[in-house]
Structure 1
Amino acid sequence: MTTPTPLTGEELTALVDGLAGLPYGGEPVDQRTHALQTAWLAMDAGADDELVVAAALHDIGRARPVRAEHPGLPHEVAGAEFARRRVGERAAWVIARHVPAKRYLVATDPAYHALLSPASVASLKVQGGPMDEREVAEFAAHPLAADAVALRRWDDAAKDPDGPRLAMPTLLAAHARCVAARRV
């Protein structure tokens, strides 16, 4: 495993701000609003700094510069590749698994499917539908599965045009603490 070259605060700001106006698959928010709402929900739930940063970056594979680096990859895979190099392995795993976490939840939580937006229901079909028993067991056995499931739930809830958003200075502070912790 290689040590990531930490994402700078300026780069993080540029990436998040670059999501402004970028459509979010038929949802009533753009990608920037969605990213900052997801991060706010993570922080509100008491997530640690690394998971808050991962929440903000979970769809970063849709950002123009990341797509250009990883053309043709699904957004969660492109985002994970970016995060692996610039944030860390935990963030990369959680970002890569936020789509499978939806499939996991549909297979394991009878009430979950009803919470999905119409756009998310449509994308579920493309993503493979509910996991089968083997996939459920494999996903659940990973030590970071609970983080991916939490991120998925925040992701699903972060589609309110009037909902709270994490302020960029708060996200930057969480990111700076992550970078400082890796240096120790």
Structure 2
Amino acid sequence: MALELEDIRALFDAYGSRAYGKEAVTQLEHALQTAHLGEAEGAEQELIVAAFLHDLGHLIGLSKQHEEGAPSSDDGSPFGTGDDLHQYVALPFLRPVLPSAVVDPIGLHVEAKRCLCAIDPTYRAKLSPLSIHTLKLQGGIYTKEEADSFQHRPFALDAMRLRRWDDAAKVPGVKTPPFEHYFSMLSKIYAQHRETRAAH
């Protein structure tokens, strides 16, 4: 079970123009802004690609609803009005074709919000109303012990960087590189990972 490159392109083609919940940007605009913030910060390409794909689970959810003929919500939760666990939805599709440096920060980016709220007093104040709402659905703010434990997990610090870009990537009208810029970056990492797996 894996998503190939053209499957990922097809998901963005089909659902990238959909609203990103109740935010004033589309799913594609949010993905491009998040990746652009990572690139502007000088992040490694793997983390930039993780930023580009971090909400792919939402698009997979919208695709699943379309196949089933079910209505989709507009609150950033394609499976309904509760927490859709979108950070996990894409993982089994991406793990066979991309390295952990891409996949793991995606899987951790929701927990990263819970951690950042616990360790940075200014962080929560910057969250959008929708993000505050989903924080509650996702388990709320970590305790100090939970935050300490999270920060020692592999790729947790990358996930926290991604999370800050995620939260800032909801501004209408921001100019970013086009889809193909980040898709080509994804394609390069995809090919490198396939070569690495074939060599072993």
Q: TM-score range by the shorter chain?
A: 0.7 to 0.9
* Equivalences for residues 1-184 of structure 1 within 5 A: 7-8=4-5, 10-64=6-60, 68=64, 74-182=85-193, 183-184=195-196
Unaligned runs of 5+ in 2: 66-77
Max Rg structure: 2
Tell me how far apart the structure 2 counterparts of residues 124 and 6 of structure 1 sit (CA, whole Å). 28
The one-letter amino acid of 1:48's match is E
Tell me how far apart the structure 2 counterparts of residues 152 and 18 of structure 1 sit (CA, whole Å). 25
Deviates more, 1:50-59 or 1:76-85: 76-85
Q: What's the secondary structure of 1:85's corresponding residue?
A: coil
Tell me how far apart the structure 2 counterparts of residues 65 and 153 of structure 1 sit (CA, whole Å). 24
Tell me how far apart the structure 2 counterparts of residues 137 and 105 of structure 1 sit (CA, whole Å). 11
Deviations 1:40-92 (A, max 9, x none): 111111112211111111011111468639x9661111022222133233322
Q: What's the secondary structure of 2:15's corresponding residue?
A: coil
Deviation of 1:133 after TM superposition, in Å, equals 2.2
Q: Give the % identical residues.
A: 39
Contact 2:12 2:28 in 1 (8 A): yes
Q: How many residues align?
A: 179
Contact 2:3 2:93 in 1 (8 A): no
CA RMSD of aligned residues (A): 2.3
Deviation of 1:145 after TM superposition, in Å, equals 1.3
Contact 1:50 1:178 in 2 (8 A): yes
Tell me how far apart the structure 2 counterparts of residues 171 and 144 of structure 1 sit (CA, whole Å). 21
Deviation of 1:5 after TM superposition, in Å, equals 5.8
Unaligned runs of 5+ in 1: none
TM-score (norm 2): 0.80
The one-letter amino acid of 1:7's match is E
TM-score (norm 1): 0.86
Q: What's the secondary structure of 1:162's corresponding residue?
A: coil
